[in-house]
Amino acid sequence: MSNNKNNPTIPEDHPRAQSLHYRHVLVDGMEKKIVTPSGLCAHGRGEAYDYILGETTTDAAENAMEAAVAMILSAKHPVISVNGNVAALIPKEIVDFSNETGSLLEINLFYQAPGRLNAIEQILRDNGADKILGLNEKVSVKLNNLSSNRRIVDPDGIFSADVVLIPLEDGDRAEALIESGKKVIAIDLNPLSRTAQKSHITIVDNLIRCIPKMVNIARSMKKMKAEKIKGIKNNFNQKKNLDQSLIHMIQYLQSKI
């Protein structure tokens, strides 16, 4: 995972060093057309919820990660949806996770500014990605019940996927994916969002902590027997897990009173 040493303007002893580093990463990503201005706003909104988590990965999040990896490893055609913020924040980690789980990477964007698709493709390839979907609009198809640009998907990727990992997702597209019969795994710092509430598995955690942990979980889980992996997936309780995430947030706030 990246750290603030990559930006010498941020003092190592600054209490918000890591947070400031990732803000600079996103600003740099915006200058390179990877991230849009609205992506900066979305990151700030998510970071606010991370404060309420205590900027830590909870036991509930760890359990959800294990269930998510189990679901992906059990899938026939898993796909990871990649937007600009994901590509800017964790390009190497998302490629590593794709490789470890045999999941396909598909770029899917709300704002399709000129040059943006190519910029995201390039940063993924620079970090080891080989096959990337979502690059050819001429062969794309559209999800039903969705009007935004995110309805445009690759027929060999999200459209035909049985499991889709959607980090930093829009609620309306999460619902559209579920309505089309797919199992949806979300990474969302807000356990009350539409995406979090509608998904089959929601990991309430910061993306920059979550994906590196999931890479390690995948490496360990691949050594397990298929029946044990299936058991981890089937024993996960989404509602209970979301409730535990909310309880953690409430208890953290109460500890500050």
pLDDT digits (tens, 9 = 90+) for 24-77: 898 898 899 999 887 877 877 888 899 999 999 999 999 999 999 999 999 999
Identify the helix (H) or strand (E) that includes residue 141: strand 141-142
Residue 117, marked binder: no
Closest CA to 93 of 9, 219, 199: 219
What are the φ/ψ torsions at residue 132 (nearest 5 degrees)?
A: -125, 130
Stronger pLDDT, 206 or 1, i.e. the higher one: 206
Residue 194, marked binder: yes
Q: What is the mean pLDDT of residues 210-220?
A: 98
Indicate whether 8 pLDDT > 80: no
Identify the weakest region by mean pLDDT among 6-10, 158-162, 193-197, 236-240. 6-10
Residue 149, marked binder: no
pLDDT digits (tens, 9 = 90+) for 64-122: 999 999 999 999 999 999 999 999 999 999 999 999 999 999 999 887 888 999 999 99
Closest CA to 88 of 36, 150, 41: 36
Beta bridge partners of 81: 106
pLDDT digits (tens, 9 = 90+) for 118-169: 999 999 999 999 999 999 876 778 888 777 777 889 999 999 999 999 998 7
Alpha-carbon distance values, 103 to 94, 108, 174, 207, 250 (Å): 10, 15, 18, 17, 35
Q: What is the C-alpha to C-alpha distance for residues 194 and 35, in angstroms, rounded to an integer?
A: 23
Rounded to two decimals, the pTM is 0.91
Q: What's residue 15's pLDDT?
A: 56
Residue 116, marked binder: no
Q: What is the C-alpha to C-alpha distance for residues 217 and 62, in angstroms, rounded to an integer?
A: 10
Cβ atoms of 219 and 100 within 8 Å: the answer is yes
pLDDT digits (tens, 9 = 90+) for 164-207: 999 987 788 899 999 999 999 999 999 999 999 999 999 999 99
Residue 83, marked binder: no
Residue 190, marked binder: yes
Q: Within 13 Å, how many C-alpha atoms sit on residue 241's CB side? A: 27
Residue 207, marked binder: yes
Q: What's residue 39's pLDDT?
A: 81
Q: What's residue 44's pLDDT?
A: 75
Domains of the chain listed by start with CATH number: 59-254 (3.40.50.12640)
Residue 253, marked binder: no
Q: What's residue 4's pLDDT?
A: 42
Residue 23, marked binder: yes
pLDDT band at 3 (very low <50, low <70, confident <90, very high): very low
Cβ atoms of 59 and 246 within 8 Å: the answer is no
